[in-house]
Amino acid sequence: MATERTLSIIKPDAVAKNAIGEIVTRFEKAGLKVVAAKMLHLDNDKAGGFYAEHKERPFFNDLVGFMTSGPVVVQVLEGENAVATNRDLMGATNPKDAEPGTIRADFAETIDANAVHGSDSPESAEREISYFFSNDEICPR
Ligand code: RTP
Ligand code: MG
C-alpha cells in the first residue's frame, strides 16, 4: 500500500474546547504523521471556497458561518491509507451516528459543529491540500 496524504481541519468547536492536542494524538497513535500544520481564522470567501461542492445545499450558509466562527487548525496527515484511516478516526458526519471512540462521538454534539473535517477521497485530498498549503509548507519526514 502506498503512502497517502489527506487534509484535516480541526474545526472551531474543537479548538474552543481546547481539544487540539487530544485530536492530534489520535492521528499520531493511528500511525498518521503531521507533515504540515497551520492555525487560521477563515473568512467567508476561504471557507465558502473550501466547501464549494455544497454551495447549493440548504446548510451551506450555516456551514460557512460555523467555519468562520473561530480559529481552525489545518493539517496535512501522511501515512498508509491516510484518507480512509482519518475518516475512520473521525466517525460519521452526525456525531449522534458516530461509533463510540471516534473523534466526532467524543468531541462533538451536533452535525453542524462536528469537530473535524477530513478529505473524502485521494482526489479531494490533493485539491484540498493545495487549497491551504504550498509545496514548500509541506515537510515530508
Ligand atoms: P466534512 O466535509 O466537514 O469532513 O464532513 P463530511 O464529509 O462528513 O460531510 P459533508 O457531507 O462533506 O458535509 C460537510 C459539512 O456540512 C455539514 N452538514 N450539515 N444539516 C445537514 O444535513 C448537513 N449535512 C452536512 C456538516 O457539518 C458536515 O461536516
Ligand atoms: Mg466532506
> What is the pLDDT, as a whole number, of residue 39?
98
Phi, psi values for residue 33, rounded to 5°: -105, 140
First and final CA of the chain: distance in angstroms? 18
> What is the pLDDT, as a whole number, of residue 141?
82
Give the ipTM.
0.96
> What is the pLDDT, as a whole number, of residue 2?
79
Instruction: Return the axis-axis angle of helices 122-132 and 82-90, rounded to nearest 10°.
Output: 90
Beta strands 116-118; 3-10: pairing state? antiparallel
> What is the pLDDT, as a whole number, of residue 10?
99
This model's pTM is above 0.90:
yes
117 classed as catalytic: yes
Residue nearest to atom 17 of ligand 1 (CA): 112
> What is the pLDDT, as a whole number, of residue 56?
98
Tell me which amino acid residue 39 is: M
Q: Is the CB of 63 under 6 A from ligand 1?
A: yes
Q: Is the CB of 118 under 6 A from ligand 1?
A: yes
User: Which residue stretches of the chain have pLDDT < 70?
Assistant: 1
